[in-house]
Amino acid sequence: MFAVIASLSSAAAQSLPGDFVYLRDIDPSIIQDIRYATSNNFVGRPLAGYDAGECVVKREVGLRLKAVQQELAAQNLSLKMFDCYRPARASLDMVKWSQNGRETASERRYNPKIAKTELFRLGYIASRSQHSTGAALDLTLVDLRADNSAKYDPTKTYADCTAPVEARAPEGSVDMGTGYDCTDPKGHTAATSINAEQRAWRKRLVAAMARQGFVNYSKEWWHFSLPGAGGAAYDFPIQPRRN
C-alpha cells in the first residue's frame, strides 16, 4: 500500500498541464543546457519559475525535435537546448531586470552595443513570450566528434558575445558566429558579418529544423517556433523531472 501511495505522490509531483512533456521522456539523447535555470545568462541569475534545468515542451514539439535529432545523429551531430517552455513569470522577471537602472560588465557581454532598456523595443525580448506556450525553443548544434569539454567559469572574464569563439564564454557547441542570446546584428540569422563556415552551420540548423516544420526568428539564429502548436501562455514553474 505504501508503495502505491509513494508512486501516486511522485506522479502528482511530476504532472504537467495541458499537453506538456519533459523532453527527456521523448528523447534523452538531446543535450540540454537550460541557461535560465543557472547564473550563466544575461540576467546573471536563475529566472523566476526555473526551479530545474529541464526542457519542457508541447508533446508535438517534442516528437518533431526527436525526428530532427534522429536525422542529425547520422551526421554525428546533436541538438542542444538552451530554453524551451518559459514560465510567464520569467518574462516579467526579464522586464524588471531591464528597468533596474544598472548594467554590469557581465550583462554587457550579451548586448555590447545596445542598452538593455532598448531590448524590448527592438524585439529581442518580449514581455509575453511564445516560449510560454510551449511551442518556442532556443537551441544550437553540437558536433559530437569535437572536444566539447570546456565549461563556463563564473570567475573568469570573457569577451563579449560577438568576439571570436576562443575569447567568448564556452558553450560546448559549434561556432555559430556569436554566443547564445547575443543581442547584436551579428546574431541575426542572415548576418553577413560572420564567416562562411559560421553561415554554413546556421543554414544547416535552419534547414534541419525546417524539415520538421519549425520556423526561425530572423533576429536570433537560435530561436525557433512551431506554428500552430502554441495556444495559451502558461505560468507553471519548471520542476525537477522524476524517473
Which is nearest to 139 in space by CA: 56, 222, 42, 24?
222
3-state class (DSSP) for residue 170:
coil
| Residue 220 bears catalytic tag | yes
Which is the catalytic residue, given 103, 166, 197, 220? 220
Burial class (CB in 10 A: 0-12, 13-18, 19+), 52: middle
According to DSSP, the residues that pair with 31 across neighbouring strands are 80
- 223 annotated ligand binder: yes
Cα(88)–Cα(107) distance, rounded to whole angstroms? 22
Residue 19 to residue 57: CA distance in whole angstroms:
8
CB 112 within 8 A of CB 184: yes
Burial class (CB in 10 A: 0-12, 13-18, 19+), 107: middle
For 206, phi and psi rounded to 5 degrees? -60, -40
Question: Are the beta carbons of 81 and 142 closer than 8 angstroms?
Answer: no
Residues 88 and 132: beta-carbon distance below 8 Å: yes
Name the residues annotated as catalytic.
Answer: 220
Please report, in range form, the residues annotated as the binding site.
131, 138, 223
Please report, in range form, the residues annotated as the binding site for Zn(2+).
131, 138, 223
